[in-house]
Structure 1
């Protein structure tokens, strides 16, 4: 884990340096939120592949919780993973009006109905803006989905080389997520311009988890 962390931290040095004020962080809390049962999506895979586009117009409000539950379950929960391990963990950063209270949530996809553990409560927008390479993007997205790789859990079975495979797992989950979002009519845009350390603080990541990619998400 120490080797993987050193590599990850070294690569983060190539990003635009960001040092958000810790005072901007929403306060820590300990709670949970049950999501609705995931639904189904209409259309064919070919239609979703043809229609998928990154969108910068994400709307002012959050997607419906039912859509978010479906997106997490089908978009991330069904993605292939090396060894079948739960290597990709989705986090949800919510802001703006909607059914989900503003703050930071960790999704648990081990059950048929996704559950959210509430980690921070409060508007994350100022901190998010300070942690992005493009700060104005922070106010465009009512929901940020963070795909995090669980390095420590997977290194119990595989050697450090598996750090590379974890990014393939995250890429498969990202593709699934974008296609399901397209089928649901949800605008989405992958984002890679961010500071890893800043987002690790926001998401309250344990030492063994690393952020792989962000997705800005809107509503139908």
Structure 2
């Protein structure tokens, strides 16, 4: 198979698996989404993580479902994004994974909307504006949107890896995503924040919400907040 054929086959497989899940009955209104913008925003430079013993962090980390109803600081968000990604290895060193995030609650200094993390200290404001309704309709458990101020999405771009590897890398891609999710748990715990991994969402709706290319596949989500 050519690289293009491998990419097309994997994208088709991913879409077929997505169709096996019944989407939320909540209305996903694509026409109501804020327009896509080319705007960029500066994030605070990441700072070192607090000095805590790794065994303590490993034992303490867990999923949380009832965070405090307060906004995250932009510095806290920048730290979670940076430290989770920078320490996350991938097969063959392929930088196939990125993080997008949705600020759904008012009061955050970034403002509500969809963002894509680019690199240390920088993000792209993909869809500035209120997307809470469509975000809820994208999840199989919409209550995550009601209680967590920020949701992160792990996005895998299959184009570059499948130019190098066989289709089997589709499996490895999810292993890499799992490593990143574990990093999110560990970094979140180290910072005194709380989070919860989310696998229950409709890929097609999330892809539309995040304005993803055809080769960019949402593979996991992670709700992020402060402890109650």
TM-score bracket for the superposition, by shorter chain length: over 0.9
1:103 alignment partner, one of 103, 113, 117: 113
- 1:88 maps to 97
Q: Give CA-to-partner distance per residue, 1:87-115, whole Å, 9 cap, x none.
A: 11000111211112111111113xxx231
Establish whether residue 47 from structure 1 lines up as the match of residue 56 from structure 2: yes
Moved more, 170-179 or 152-161: 152-161
Question: Conserved in 2, the CA contact under 8 Å of 1:24 and 1:126?
Answer: no
Report the TM-score, using the length of structure 2 for normalisation.
Answer: 0.91
1:219 is aligned to 226
Is the aligned partner of 1:157 residue 2:167?
no
- Aligned-residue offset at 1:207: 1.1
1:207 and 2:217 matched: no
CA distance in 2, matches of 1:179, 1:91: 19
What residue is the counterpart of 1:65 in the other structure?
A: 74
**In the alignment, does 2:23 pair up with 1:17?**
yes
Distance 2:44 2:123 in 1: 11
Give the root-mean-square deviation of aligned CA atoms: 1.4
- 1:129 deviates by 1.0
**Per-residue deviation at 1:65?**
1.3
The 5 A counterparts of 1:177-188 are 177-188=184-195
Question: 1:133 and 2:143 equivalent?
Answer: no
Where in structure 1 do 4 or more consecutive aligned residues deviate above 3 Å?
Answer: none
The one-character-per-residue Cα deviations of 1:133-157 (angstroms, maximum 9, x if unpaired) are 1222221121010000110121121
TM-score, normalized by length of structure 1? 0.94
Task: Specify which of 3, 12, 29 is matched with residue 9 of structure 2.
Answer: 3
Total equivalences in the alignment: 217
Query: Residue by residue, what CA displacement relative to the aligned partner does 1:152-208 show, whole Å, maximum 9, x if unpaired?
Result: 121121111111111111111110111000110111011111100000000000111
In structure 1, list runs of 5 or more residues that go unmatched. none
CA contact (8 A) 1:64 1:219 kept: no
Q: Secondary structure in 1 aligned to 2:111? A: coil
In structure 2, stretches of 5+ residues that fail to align are: 1-6
